[in-house]
Structure 1
Amino acid sequence: MLLPNTGTDIHELNPAISVANLNEAVESAARALIQLQHSDGHWIFPLEADATIPAEHILLQHFLDEIDPEVESGLAAFIRSHQGEDGGWPLFHGGTLDLSCTVKAYFALKAAGDPVDAPHMKRAREAVLAHGGAARCNVFTRILLALFGQIPWRGVPVMPVEILNLPAWSPVHISRISYWSRTVVVPLLVVMAHKPQARNPRGIGISELFTVPADRVVDWHSAPDDTALARLFRGIDSFLSLIEPRLPKSGRRAAIDRAVKFVTERLNGEDGLGAIFPAMANTIMMYDCLGYPADHPDAVTARRAMDKLLLPMDGGEIMCQPCLSPVWDTALACHAVAEVGTPEARQSALAGSAWLVERQVLDEPGDWSWRRPNVRPGGWPFQYANPHYPDTDDTAVVVMALDRCGAEEFAEPIERGREWIEGLQSSNGGWGAFDADNCAHYLNHIPFADHGALLDPPTVDVTARCIGMLAQLGFKADHKSVASGLEFLRREQEPNGSWFGRWGTNYIYGTWSALCGLNAVGIRPENPMVRRAVDWLLSRQNPDGGWGEGGVSYWPDRIADDRCASTPSQTAWALLGLMAAGEVANPATARGVRFLIENRNAAGLWDEEDFTAVGFPRVFYLRYHGYPAIFPLWAIARYRTMMEEGQREVPWGL
């Protein structure tokens, strides 16, 4: 086997990679991944978040006085097993204490019956107090504490439900915030209007986590933002706290009716409002506040949706997933097995593609249509069902998979998906995940938004995927949508040559995404933009041949600290990016492939504890259990194909 354009045998480049070793790795990983495919063609893997989600599930049971001892015990076991060495709970594996996550985890364990003098509880309590106490928690944690009577409601920013009565042109209309914020906030506004007290049957409190009694805390603002805009919004918040009790009751009733209508229209069966845990939990509390009996059909549906997120694990633990990811998992797995190229792999990819076609949203003008009313539906959601909220990232990846697996057979869904993607392009040339032009950045300065994740602006990774999809379908660099997308990528490249990764950790993910999009549309490897990105990737390779990056890289002042142990998924991203940039013959690429071949588990796949994805940078991180089963196979299979065929260019948009 000769390296393209070098005349060099692959064995001379890296004797540790033999053809037999490479073939065995690809074929065993492909068999293992195909064995995980469900009989109807789809894949689904666990999706793990931090201890916040299981803690909130336990506390919701205590809010309602509907405690399931078996579920509570399993969730508590999961929380205990994820406590960090510093006594707190991190947002991602190996991270340091996050105050809000730790307060929720401690509260949930105490509610579940853990004695306060137990060693793990003592360490957690000392860690919270050392970090300023529970009064320094973020807004959503303080709302939970107010619901349990642990802090006064003045410790929570005012968000009157009456904002739902504002016209669409209002600067604070819900259409201006992201889909996830919308579905979480709307039912929460009803709960905050009622200010209920949790039933809390065991009378659990956490006064011991405050450095001073909660009723003596003066400053509850947790956000460090001290800009003029932030000060203005804090002033508005103070004004609203004075007038909210005096607002007309008729306006409140109308707003609550609007909220209930919004939620009920989007209840989404047993897949839940927005198909995400926080929105489901708030929906359950909203119906409870409104006096819905436990057997009311909507209340029953909401509870069942949340229960579907529970996943029993080894050792009696129960994971509560933030959502389910079958469309995303299936689309990515289709790409990986299609890359393998054997008849069995092609048939597997075709079965997955057929399953995906059935999930396309064709007749529901979701919330995205508020900004793009003249665009026909045609996108795919992330979950089994979420018709109001398909997303551009899933849609682009699905369309590319369908195109690879049977373009003629899937011509109509491909065309509808392409049409929807082009219709959702933002005015700056980029693509957000769920909406176009969701860029009201001033809203991230309101006190309620101290998490800084209220919006869904265009990002590099999603934009690169959309460009790659259009290019794979035959659109050239001078096509209007492609050209404006390319300009967005050029503007967003970092000075060091990398790109920021919004939905994956972090610069490795963003750079891989961008390089694939650029390659697909014909940007040559010698282009300065590509060369800078390649140089950056090469500079980040670890001595063992792999790549790794941690969640701390999302803090601008911590980027220098983000060198981490190599992970299979991030190594695969780096390799796919290098190969897209024409670096298949680079010795660094061979070293990365060798790292993957040498670090497989007994099943032929890869293990990975690290959280290599994000929900919201610096706030909410994710561990896709499918990533180490999918991306490494994808990378080594592509490497094999390109070496065998002497390719220097990747024929796909991903």
Structure 2
Amino acid sequence: MMHPQTLHRSTSDAGVTHAARLSAAEAAEALLARQKPDGHWIFELEADCTIPAEYLLLRHYLGEDVDPGVEARMADYLRAGRTADGGWPLFHGGAMDLSASVKGYFALKACGDSPDAPHMREACAAIHRAGGAERANVFTRILLALFGQVPWKAVPTMPVEIMTLPKWSPFHLDRVSYWSRTVIVPLLVLMALKPQARNPRGIAVAELFRTPPDRVADWHHHPEQAAWTRFFKLLDAAVRRAEPLLPADNRRRAIAKAVGWVEERLNGEDGLGGIYPAMANAVMMYDALGYAREHPSFLIARRSIEKLVVDRPGATYVQPCLSPVWDTALTVHALLETNTPAARDAALRGLDWLKDRQILDVVGDWAVKRPKAKPGGWAFQYENPHYPDVDDTAVVVMAMHRADPIRYAGSIERAVHWIRGMQSDNGGWGAFDADNTAHYLNYIPFADHGALLDPPTADVSARCVGMLAQLGTGAGDPVLTGGLRYLTKEQEPDGSWFGRWGTNYIYGTWSVLMAYNALGRRADDPAVARAAQWLKNRQNADGGWGESGASYWREHRDARCAFSTASQTAWALLGLMAAGQVDDPAVARGVAYLTEAQGKDGLWPEDPYTAVGFPRVFYLRYHGYASFFPLMALARYRALKEGNAGVSPWGL
């Protein structure tokens, strides 16, 4: 861990550069040792308590025997994750979240924890103070309905007949994000069949409700109170009354269509959509339809979930998904920064592994909006061919171009064609879809989490703009021009940019500054200067940078972590260096922070969550972020200070 008293022992250029060189060498060696035999890297990906809690409850839903050791270790993990007031947060150090706390409590009770145990009484009291389980979000209430803890009227109406709506319908599934589609489609079947959990231990959680479920007058509360909210609430009530009158034949056809949709995208042992909630819903859908446990579809869906379980000393939990493509691409960038023969050889092996995973022959859901674009992207996971990721694809292309543009020319060409085709009409890029901007859908009762859509964001758009610039795209190119116009519009009044997929304004600001650097924008460019000053103003006294997940709430816009983090410090440093500030004292202090905070294993310890699934709803801790991002920053600093002409022009 960092020793504050020695943090600034040597802040001269020579001393800091020497320390950066040694630190980068240790980190590179550690990363080289983590490479898999086939060339890729993968790090753990951790979310909040809801994923392991849902996993434990899924086992009880199915009536499966649970390995006592795994159950006990996962329960230990849940108990250790509570806040000081007894509930569970969405991210490390965050405030208690009601819905996460209901799931955490329910899972521990299913594991055998007595409601009279002190930690359970504290959790129950925290849930009551937050309004009781009746105020939990939609997905939590669906889980409670499946276990018979609330009536189905507690859940918004989502008839499975949605599957048969025409494409022009304002409620067609094509209008929501990829993750929403993969979660919703099997869930529609569950909501139509309304199965009940086997729940062999008969666990109930009536004590979590302030108002008994049969007396709750209004279940459908939405955080956004607007005209759309009131309209959709009335529409939900009308559909609920009409649903029993829908023809049975239509329902059977709709269920069959939903099952067929899932089957097409089942994705082997990598799972539906490659994400836990969709996988779990698929398993429960097959179970509700009466599939035998030996049925190939049930088996493959069930196995996909077990691949997400982490069981190691000190932590047994379930990952929300796997991140090998993202981890490999970013590790390759970090190693290429070091510019050593061993690092370059490892990077090329990683890129060869990535080359074989490019999606070239599956036309995914993205083609609904962009039918003329040819496949050419990369998914986030090992396999997920229907859902390539624009962000991953741009980062892979930049690594390939940087390492050997001739060796990877074919892969680069196909990927660039796909990314150009995925640009939205406003000039920006979303992560998985183009023009996924039906914002009215975030007001339906089902969308109280506010994460139904995948609109363009500054961080993903910056990666695409930076990629085009790195490849030498001319200033008059309409795609590049549109992307720049979008980024200009998205800059905040204080000079920062919002970070959708990383926490938060530090991530967004770094992302855009690296794109501007690739375009050749200088330090005196007004937008660059304002962004650089914002980053310098955010530096902590210890030399590092930190930002809390609470900054996604507008009232906590300026929230900072109580302490700096390695990954966010690296982003800030990379952003400042991209802005031409390598000689600024703030950069030297940040580099000194990283060299002092480095662990004995050559990498950096980091408990805070510095990434995001859905702002204000679901946060992530990439265990690799505190490994490859600090290496990028230190190696880049050393190269710039030593005048290395081979340094990449791109800000990453």
TM-score (norm 2): 0.97
Which amino acid is 1:334 matched to?
V
Q: Which moved more, 1:23-32 or 1:259-268?
A: 23-32
Alpha carbons of structure 1 residues 640 and 54: separation in structure 2 relative to 1, 3 Å:
same
Instruction: State the distance in 2 between where 1:401 and 1:141 align.
Output: 41
Instruction: State the distance in 2 between where 1:407 and 1:217 align.
Output: 63
Give the deviation of 1:222 after TM superposition: 3.0
Which amino acid is 2:253 matched to?
A
| 1:482-533 deviation line (CA, Å, top 9, x unaligned) | 1100000000000000000000000000000000011112222211111110
Alignment-derived partner of residue 115 in structure 1: 114
Q: What do you get for the CA RMSD once the two structures are aligned?
A: 1.5
Would you say the 8 A contact 1:313–1:319 is kept in 2? no
Give the deviation of 1:299 after TM superposition: 0.1
Which of 553, 559, 562 is residue 560 of structure 2 equivalent to?
Answer: 562
Alignment map for 1:94-105 (pairs within 5 Å): 94-105=93-104
Structure 2 residue 375 is matched with structure 1 residue 385: no
Give the deviation of 1:117 after TM superposition: 1.0
Give the deviation of 1:13 after TM superposition: 6.1
Alignment-derived partner of residue 490 in structure 1: 488
Structure 2 residue 161 is matched with structure 1 residue 176: no
Structure 2 residue 611 is matched with structure 1 residue 620: no
Identity %: 60
Which amino acid is 1:155 matched to?
A
Alignment-derived partner of residue 65 in structure 1: 63
Alignment map for 1:205-284 (pairs within 5 Å): 205-284=204-283
Alignment map for 1:504-653 (pairs within 5 Å): 504-645=502-643, 651-652=649-650
Which amino acid is 2:234 matched to?
G
Would you say the 8 A contact 1:583–1:648 is kept in 2? no
| 1:342-372 deviation line (CA, Å, top 9, x unaligned) | 1011111111111110110000000001111
Give SS of 2:577's match.
helix
Structure 2 residue 153 is matched with structure 1 residue 140: no
Ranges in structure 1 where 5+ consecutive residues have no aligned partner: 1-9
Alignment-derived partner of residue 360 in structure 2: 362
Would you say the 8 A contact 1:151–1:215 is kept in 2? yes
Which amino acid is 2:97 matched to?
D
Give the deviation of 1:476 after TM superposition: 2.7
Give SS of 1:319's match.
strand
Instruction: State the distance in 2 between where 1:108 and 1:244 align.
Output: 32
Q: Which moved more, 1:131-140 or 1:65-74?
A: 65-74
Would you say the 8 A contact 1:309–1:322 is kept in 2? yes
Would you say the 8 A contact 2:87–2:96 is kept in 1? yes
Q: Which moved more, 1:516-525 or 1:337-346?
A: 516-525
Give the deviation of 1:73 after TM superposition: 2.3
Give the deviation of 1:650 after TM superposition: 5.3
Alignment-derived partner of residue 194 in structure 2: 195
Give SS of 1:120's match.
helix
Instruction: State the distance in 2 between where 1:20 and 1:530 align.
Output: 28
Alignment-derived partner of residue 83 in structure 2: 84
| 1:435-476 deviation line (CA, Å, top 9, x unaligned) | 000000000000000000000000000000000111111113
Alignment-derived partner of residue 446 in structure 2: 448
Instruction: State the distance in 2 between where 1:56 and 1:646 align.
Output: 50
Alignment-derived partner of residue 4 in structure 2: none
Instruction: State the distance in 2 between where 1:15 and 1:122 align.
Output: 56
Give SS of 1:645's match.
coil
Give SS of 2:613's match.
strand
| 1:9-49 deviation line (CA, Å, top 9, x unaligned) | x9996268344322211111110111011111100000000
Q: Which moved more, 1:244-253 or 1:329-338?
A: 244-253
Instruction: State the distance in 1 between where 2:649 and 2:137 align.
Output: 46
Instruction: State the distance in 2 between where 1:165 and 1:396 align.
Output: 35
Would you say the 8 A contact 2:20–2:637 is kept in 1? no
Instruction: State the distance in 1 between where 2:528 and 2:116 align.
Output: 57
Q: Which moved more, 1:428-437 or 1:552-561?
A: 552-561
Give the deviation of 1:72 after TM superposition: 2.3
Would you say the 8 A contact 2:395–2:463 is kept in 1? yes
Would you say the 8 A contact 1:361–1:377 is kept in 2? yes
Give the deviation of 1:148 after TM superposition: 0.7
Would you say the 8 A contact 1:582–1:649 is kept in 2? no
Give SS of 1:557's match.
helix
Would you say the 8 A contact 1:492–1:499 is kept in 2? yes
Would you say the 8 A contact 1:579–1:650 is kept in 2? no
Alignment map for 1:323-338 (pairs within 5 Å): 323-338=321-336
Would you say the 8 A contact 1:464–1:517 is kept in 2? yes
Give SS of 1:522's match.
coil
| 1:573-623 deviation line (CA, Å, top 9, x unaligned) | 000000111001111011100100011101111000000000000000000
| 1:370-395 deviation line (CA, Å, top 9, x unaligned) | 11111100000000000000010000
Structure 2 residue 295 is matched with structure 1 residue 296: yes
Instruction: State the distance in 2 between where 1:336 and 1:170 align.
Output: 46
Which amino acid is 2:346 matched to?
S
Alignment map for 1:144-159 (pairs within 5 Å): 144-159=143-158
Instruction: State the distance in 2 between where 1:123 and 1:16 align.
Output: 54
| 1:79-122 deviation line (CA, Å, top 9, x unaligned) | 11111111000000001100000000000100110111111111
Instruction: State the distance in 1 between where 2:127 and 2:375 align.
Output: 47
Alpha carbons of structure 1 residues 251 and 230: separation in structure 2 relative to 1, 3 Å:
same
Which amino acid is 1:158 matched to?
T
Give SS of 1:591's match.
helix
Give the deviation of 1:647 after TM superposition: 7.1
Give the deviation of 1:313 after TM superposition: 2.1
Instruction: State the distance in 2 between where 1:269 and 1:553 align.
Output: 37
Ranges in structure 2 where 5+ consecutive residues have no aligned partner: 1-7
Would you say the 8 A contact 1:86–1:96 is kept in 2? no
Instruction: State the distance in 1 between where 2:480 and 2:635 align.
Output: 28
Would you say the 8 A contact 2:13–2:588 is kept in 1? no
Alignment-derived partner of residue 412 in structure 1: 410
TM-score (norm 1): 0.97
Give the deviation of 1:245 after TM superposition: 1.2
Alpha carbons of structure 1 residues 646 and 69: separation in structure 2 relative to 1, 3 Å:
closer
Alpha carbons of structure 1 residues 593 and 264: separation in structure 2 relative to 1, 3 Å:
same
Which of 491, 497, 501 is residue 499 of structure 1 equivalent to?
Answer: 497
Instruction: State the distance in 1 between where 2:133 and 2:502 align.
Output: 30
Q: How many residues align?
A: 644
Alpha carbons of structure 1 residues 13 and 56: separation in structure 2 relative to 1, 3 Å:
closer
Instruction: State the distance in 1 between where 2:9 and 2:609 align.
Output: 35
Alpha carbons of structure 1 residues 90 and 474: separation in structure 2 relative to 1, 3 Å:
same
Instruction: State the distance in 2 between where 1:580 and 1:251 align.
Output: 58
Give SS of 2:15's match.
coil
Instruction: State the distance in 2 between where 1:224 and 1:392 align.
Output: 30
Give the deviation of 1:78 after TM superposition: 1.4
Alpha carbons of structure 1 residues 597 and 240: separation in structure 2 relative to 1, 3 Å:
same
Instruction: State the distance in 1 between where 2:647 and 2:412 align.
Output: 24
Alignment-derived partner of residue 345 in structure 1: 343
